[in-house]
Structure 1
Amino acid sequence: MIRQVTRFSFYALLASAMTHGLAVASDSGEDAPELSYSTVLSDLDDPWDMAFLSDSTMFFTEKCNGLSVRLPDGEVNRLLGMEDTDGYAATADDLFCHGQAGMNGVAVDPNFEDNRFVYVYSASNQTTPHKNRVLRLRVNDDFTEVSNRTDIVDDIPYKMAESDHPFGDAGAHNGGRIRFSPRDGFLYVTTGDNHQGDLPQDPERLGGKVLRIDRDGNGAPGNNVAEGFDPRIYTYGHRNVQGIAFHANTHWPFVAEHGPWHSDEVKILIPGANAGWDPRPNISGRDDCPDDYCGYQPNQMEGMDPDERMAFMPMTDLDLYPYAIKPAWTNDGLSQGMSSAEFLTGSQWKGWEGRMVVGFLGIGFGDTPVGQRIDVLDIPEDGSRVRDVTTMSLPMSNGRFRSVVLGPEGDLYIAQDEGDIYRLTAE
């Protein structure tokens, strides 16, 4: 029998997680920093993620091209390309892109100086149905090649859509962010629900989950999953997590998640807990859902206002799952493509030091997209309700903010789908 994390055990786990660390500014009245920027790279093809070494060496991915590295002197070496790409030291013909899927997240091993490992999340067509995989690669001493590919996770669901599928194309709701925790040294992997109604609550399949694994892809100790769950699962009941970051003080994990045309969410993660997303039919009065996926049903109902939609198809369903993880912030009931997340550290961030930043892709078409921005959240250590939200006044133009990553010097690096990576400096 699959158990829920009870209210008592939920908060007991959270209380045991809190540790002392760096001082975090929380006074919302403190001044915001002055911001300036420089362009790090431009004319890229859908840059998706970045990961840094201490000397500012930057690994980065382009969704439909592959993995590259930018050295401290600005030189760029293209390491691992996907099918039909040119100019890379090596290519992997099974790696491909389609829709939201491709080469997504990248992470550097905390012990890189000893093992030279870097990790990427990518779609692969080695099998049918296709899968998302987490690849471990070894980087050579002069950062010109990678070798020893090991697929440490090879069974993350990928959406194989028929041409008449009612919701999006193949590769949709693909997750894809990977991050090592500074707290425990394990790798966290975010996945999506693939527009498949039964996937988020399925204890055996990895879609709609956050995984917590070791360097070989095994489930990490302390995941607290119930009997019958895949031991790699850390939390379940997710829709499409594209952001994960670790609190500046406690290093506890928080995620940023796309909402179903309402309620993008930020929430703390508790081991073994349910995030509360369940888009299956025949639940709470839902029926006649296209392709057995009720995730958009309220938005197909004329005359239903946002509050009614949230009540009918909530992102976190506390009626079905009373002990689900409650969101700290719901983006004022809007869905605007909440993507990457990071916590700011360093006194140069002034009143924003210790706060969480989230990037938005925005919605809309043509010349008038809505919601493209980076927000700064004053979020309590325990993941309770956000106290304050500030939208950054950015010196560069807005775009689809795909990734926000803190560099080793404390600057915020920003990747936009339009092809640029910027360095945002606070003072």
Structure 2
Amino acid sequence: MAAPAIAQTVESSVGPLRATVLAEGLDHPWALAFLPDGRFLVTERSGRLVLIESGVVSGVVEGVPNVVARGQGGLLDLALAPDFETSGQIYLTYAEPAEDAGLQRGTGTAVMAAKLVLTNGGGGQLEDQRVIFRMNNFTNSTRHFGSRIAIAPDGNLFVTLGERGDMDRAQDPEDLAGGIVRIAPDGSVPEDNPKPEGWAPEFWSIGHRNPQGATIRPGDGVLFTVEHGARGGDEVNMPTAGDNFGWPVITYGVDYSGVAIGEGTEKEGLEQPIHYWDPSISPSGLDFYEGSLMPDWEGDLLLGGLSGAVLVRLDMEGDAVVAEERLFEGQLGRIRDVRVGADGAVYLLTDADNGQLIRVAPEGK
């Protein structure tokens, strides 16, 4: 799987940007993490966790969870614990089969914590695996697992959960589908979770459709997410404790058939997005830009588009989106994950049978 010498250049607000393919041949890669030794750790939806070095898969990590790789399900997000360099702890989200959860049928989003032990031969092994969280209502649907992790400065985990294609679940305060949960690193419920009356204690916010991007703003630790609408109505949200974002009561989209959904675009007591797209771009992956390569982007949000096949920069002023810049539109494929590296470059994963790891940086850097 040698990386091809392929690069594309586009004009941008910071001058010419070059997208260079670092590795290809990945099977629908979903999430990316940077290891301290310079290697990349990548999940493939089919169930592999791989190490990438010098343009090739240099090793496979054994001991990953059993996944249901159907539809949108499989091995999904990946996050390194803040103390990874000493603890080796990582978190994985995935579509868990019912039998592994002691249930009769279906699948649900789950979170596994484990210790990553790298071997001298280039591979690795997960040890001390434990499921620290799972949805409380598994179904046979293969859609809308959500499944991004964002780790807050206090060490607690935000985990996004889709409504599994059953929109009404997002307004059921006892059903964890269609919400964002906040859990401790061991899976317990933090004492200061919002806990409105009738809500499952894990909930941070509800009324989400399918959030596939989540990140923490540097400096103040505020959570930002992006989620898929139906036909139109993709959203950027800033979920705070106890928020209800309204899906499917309010939305800026319509059903795929063209039929209206819910009661309109706003309703008292339900939150508004800080930005939305119509038509949809199917946003996935989300990160704030921090780095010296593109200082004019400092503090801006970067995300990928699946159906939009685009890298998007949202120009942020405080909590407001004041402008949008679209880059490489239609050139790189379906962008599944977006992460900013320590070198200031932007790294992308493309969702395809022949998925790619791509580095984006100013030309010559």
TM-score (norm 1): 0.73
Q: Which amino acid aligns with 2:323?
A: D
Q: State the 1:184 CA deviation.
A: 2.4
Q: C-alpha distance in 1, partners of 2:54/2:332?
A: 26
Q: C-alpha distance in 1, partners of 2:254/2:342?
A: 44
Which of 277, 281, 285 is equivalent to 1:340?
Answer: 285
Change beyond 3 A, Cα 1:297–1:374: closer
CA deviation vs aligned residue, 1:76-105 (integer Å, no higher than 9, x gap): 2211xxxxxxxxx3465x422110011010
- Partner of 2:257 in structure 1? 300
Which of 157, 160, 173 is equivalent to 2:144?
Answer: 173
Q: State the 1:398 CA deviation.
A: 2.3
SS in structure 1 opposite 2:115? strand
Q: State the 1:235 CA deviation.
A: 0.9
Q: C-alpha distance in 2, partners of 1:299/1:34?
A: 37
Which of 87, 105, 110 is equivalent to 2:77?
Answer: 105
- Partner of 1:83 in structure 2? none
Q: State the 1:71 CA deviation.
A: 5.1
Change beyond 3 A, Cα 1:57–1:410: same
CA deviation vs aligned residue, 1:235-265 (integer Å, no higher than 9, x gap): 1110000011122443311111101101111
Q: Which amino acid aligns with 2:133?
A: V
CA deviation vs aligned residue, 1:396-418 (integer Å, no higher than 9, x gap): 93200000011222221100012
Unaligned runs of 5+ in 1: 1-29, 80-88, 161-169, 285-293, 363-370
1:131-210 pair list within 5 angstroms: 131-142=108-119, 144-155=124-135, 157-160=137-140, 170-181=141-152, 183-210=153-180
SS in structure 2 opposite 1:387? strand
Q: Which amino acid aligns with 1:346?
A: G
CA deviation vs aligned residue, 1:21-74 (integer Å, no higher than 9, x gap): xxxxxxxxx942432233222101000001223443322100013222335896
Change beyond 3 A, Cα 1:240–1:97: same
Give aligned pairs, total.
342
Q: C-alpha distance in 1, partners of 2:127/2:296?
A: 44
- Partner of 2:183 in structure 1? 213
CA deviation vs aligned residue, 1:338-394 (integer Å, no higher than 9, x gap): 1111111113213222110121011xxxxxxxx221111112333x4x211111247
- In the alignment, is the contact (CA less than 8 A) between 1:360 and 1:372 conserved in 2? yes
- In the alignment, is the contact (CA less than 8 A) between 1:156 and 1:191 conserved in 2? no
Q: C-alpha distance in 2, partners of 1:55/1:49?
A: 18
Which of 279, 297, 319 is equivalent to 1:352?
Answer: 297
Does residue 1:422 correspond to 2:340, yes or no?
A: no
Q: C-alpha distance in 2, partners of 1:325/1:205?
A: 19
Does residue 1:253 correspond to 2:223, yes or no?
A: yes
In our comparison, the structure showing a higher alpha carbon Rg is: 1
Higher relative contact order structure (alpha carbons within 8 Å, sequence separation ≥ 6): 1
Change beyond 3 A, Cα 1:359–1:157: farther
Q: State the 1:225 CA deviation.
A: 2.5
Change beyond 3 A, Cα 1:378–1:174: same
CA deviation vs aligned residue, 1:275-321 (integer Å, no higher than 9, x gap): 11135xxxx9xxxxxxxxx99875535xx7xxxx47x554xx532xx
Q: C-alpha distance in 2, partners of 1:205/1:218?
A: 17
1:266-415 pair list within 5 angstroms: 266-278=236-248, 298-301=255-258, 309=260, 314=264, 317-319=265-267, 322-331=268-277, 333-362=278-307, 371-382=308-319, 384=320, 386-393=321-328, 397-415=331-349
Which of 212, 215, 219 is equivalent to 1:242?
Answer: 212
Unaligned runs of 5+ in 2: 1-11
Q: C-alpha distance in 2, partners of 1:141/1:313?
A: 52
SS in structure 1 opposite 2:170? coil
TM-score (norm 2): 0.85
- In the alignment, is the contact (CA less than 8 A) between 1:248 and 1:355 conserved in 2? no
CA deviation vs aligned residue, 1:112-166 (integer Å, no higher than 9, x gap): 1222111111112123232221011111253521111100012354541xxxxxx
Which of 19, 30, 36 is equivalent to 1:48?
Answer: 30
SS in structure 2 opposite 1:254? strand
Q: C-alpha distance in 2, partners of 1:266/1:48?
A: 20
Identify the structure with the greater helix proportion: 1
- Partner of 2:198 in structure 1? 228
Change beyond 3 A, Cα 1:98–1:295: farther
Change beyond 3 A, Cα 1:144–1:325: same
Q: C-alpha distance in 2, partners of 1:40/1:393?
A: 17
- In the alignment, is the contact (CA less than 8 A) between 1:33 and 1:351 conserved in 2? no
- In the alignment, is the contact (CA less than 8 A) between 1:35 and 1:425 conserved in 2? yes
Change beyond 3 A, Cα 1:110–1:245: same
- In the alignment, is the contact (CA less than 8 A) between 1:54 and 1:408 conserved in 2? no
Identify the structure with the greater strand proportion: 2
Q: C-alpha distance in 2, partners of 1:330/1:230?
A: 28
Q: Which amino acid aligns with 1:329?
A: H
Higher mean Cα deviation, 124-133 or 205-214?
A: 124-133
Does residue 1:264 correspond to 2:234, yes or no?
A: yes
Q: C-alpha distance in 1, partners of 2:220/2:54?
A: 30
SS in structure 1 opposite 2:26? coil
- In the alignment, is the contact (CA less than 8 A) between 1:246 and 1:253 conserved in 2? yes
- In the alignment, is the contact (CA less than 8 A) between 2:43 and 2:49 conserved in 1? yes
